[in-house]
Structure 1
Amino acid sequence: MTDYNFLNPYRFRNGAVVKNRIVMAPMTEMSAHENGAITKDQIDYYGMRSGGVGMELTACAYVTPAGKGFEGNLGVDSDRMIPGLAKLAQAMKLNGTKAILQIFDAGRMTNSKILRGQQPVSASAIAAERPGSETPRALTGAEVLDEIKAFGEATRRAIAAGFDGVEIHGANTYLIQQFYSPNSNQREDKWGGNLENRMRFPLAVIDQVKEVADQYANHDFIVGYRISPEEIETPGIRLEDTLTFVDRLADAPLDYLHVSMGNVWRTSLNDKEATEPILPQILRVLDDRIPLIGVGNIEKPEDAEKVIDAGIDFATIGRELIREPQWVQKIIANDEGTIRYQLSPSDIDDLNIPAPLWDFLNFVFKPIAGISTEATPEETFANATAPWEKF
Structure 2
Amino acid sequence: MAKEYSFLKNFTFKNGVTIKNRVVIPPMTEVSSFEDGSISTDELKYLQMRAGGVGLFISPVANVSENGKGFEGELSITDDRFIPGLTKVASAMKLGGSKAVLQIFHAGRMSNSKILRGAQPVSASAVAAERPNAETPKELSNEEIEGIINDFGEATRRAIQAGFDGIELHGANTYLLQQFFSPHSNRRTDKWGGSLENRMRFPLAVIKSVHDAVEKFADRPFLVGYRISPEEIETPGIRMTDTLKFIDVLANQSIDYLHVSMGYAWRTSLNDKSDTEPLILKIKKQLNGRLPLICVGSVETPKEAAKVTDKGIEMVAIGREILREPKWVQKVENDDEGSIRYTISEQDLDDLGITQPMWNFLIFRLKSAMHISNQPDYNPEQFKNKLAPHEGA
TM-score, normalised by the number of residues in structure 1:
0.96
Give yes or no for the alignment of 1:387 onto 2:389: yes
Q: How do 1:135-284 and structure 2 match up within 5 A? A: 135-284=136-285
Q: What pairs up with 1:95-114 in 2 under 5 angstroms?
A: 95-114=96-115
Matches within 5 A, 1:310-349: 310-349=311-350
- Once residues 301 and 214 of structure 2 are traced to their aligned partners in structure 1, the CA distance between those partners, rounded to angstroms, is 35
Amino acid aligned to 2:151: A
> Shift of residue 297 of structure 1?
0.9
Local SS of the residue matching 1:308: helix
- Cα distance in 1 between the residues matched to 2:139 and 2:364: 34
Read off the aligned partner of 1:194 and give its amino acid letter: S
- TM-superposed CA distance for 1:313, in Å, is 0.3
* Cα separation, 2, equivalents of 1:63 and 1:92: 20
Unpaired runs of 5+ residues, structure 1, are none
Alpha-carbon contact 1:19-1:54 (below 8 Å) kept? yes
Q: Does the 8 Å CA contact 1:79/1:157 hold for their aligned counterparts?
A: yes
Amino acid aligned to 1:20: N
Aligned equivalent of 1:287: 288
Kindly indicate whether the alpha-carbon contact (under 8 Å) linking 2:294 and 2:314 is maintained by their aligned counterparts in 1: yes
**Structure 2 partner of 1:8:** 9
Specify the alignment match of 1:88 in structure 2.
89
**Residue in structure 2 matched with residue 49 of structure 1 by the alignment:** 50
TM-superposition CA deviations, 1:211-269 (whole Å, max 9, x none) = 10111113410000000000000000000110000000000001000000001100000
The alpha-carbon deviation at position 346 of structure 1 amounts to 1.3
- The superposition leaves residues 290-315 of structure 1 with CA deviations (integer Å, 9 ceiling, x where unpaired) of 10100001100011100001110000
CA-based RMSD of the aligned residues comes to 1.7
One-letter code aligned to 1:137: K
CA contact (8 A) 2:263 2:387 kept: no
SS in 1 for 2:156: helix
Pairwise CA distance, 1:42: 0.7
User: What is the distance in 2 between the residues matched to 1:237 and 1:273?
Assistant: 18
Counterpart Cα distance in 1 of 2:111 and 2:26: 22
**Equivalents in 2 of 1:342, 1:140: separation in Å?**
48
C-alpha separation between the residues in 1 aligned to 2:332 and 2:40? 30
The one-letter code of the counterpart of 1:243 is L
What is the CA distance between 1:361 and its match in structure 2?
2.1
Local SS of the residue matching 1:169: strand
> Per the alignment, in what secondary structure is the counterpart of residue 184 of structure 1?
coil
Q: Is the 8 A contact 1:362 1:371 kept in 2?
A: no
Residue matched to 2:128: 127
Once the two structures are TM-superposed, the CA of residue 384 in structure 1 deviates from its matched residue by 5.9
- d(CA) in 2 for partners of 1:388, 1:244: 25
Does the 8 Å CA contact 2:262/2:388 hold for their aligned counterparts?
no
Deviations 1:40-60 (A, max 9, x none): 111110110000000111111
Q: Quote the Cα distance in structure 2 between the aligned partners of 1:356 and 1:245.
A: 36
Aligned length: 387
Secondary structure of the residue aligned to 1:155 is: helix
User: What TM-score do you get using the length of structure 2 for normalisation?
Assistant: 0.96
Stretch moving more, 53-62 or 359-368: 359-368
Q: Deviations over 1:19-43 (max 9, x none)?
A: 1000001000011100011111111
Percent of pairs with identical residues: 59
The residue type equivalent to 2:391 in the other structure is E
Offset of residue 362 of structure 1: 2.8
Distance 1:323 1:295, change over 3 A: same
Q: Is the 8 A contact 1:261 1:295 kept in 2?
A: yes
Q: Secondary structure in 2 aligned to 1:365? A: helix
CA distance in 1, matches of 2:363, 2:123: 32
Match of 1:27 in 2: 28
CA distance in 2, matches of 1:261, 1:218: 34
Secondary structure at the residue paired with 2:129?
Answer: coil
2: CA distance between counterparts of 1:43 and 1:159?
Answer: 19
Which residue identity does 1:86 align to in structure 2? T
Q: Is the 8 A contact 1:122 1:136 kept in 2?
A: yes
Task: Write the letter of the residue equivalent to 1:331.
Answer: V
For 2:370 and 2:344, the matched residues in 1 are separated by: 7
Q: Secondary structure at the match of 1:23?
A: strand
Instruction: Output one character per residue of 1:179-237: Cα deviation in whole Å (capped at 9) or x when no partner.
Output: 00000001111000000000000011011101101111134100000000000000000
Task: Give 5+ residue unaligned stretches, structure 2.
Answer: none
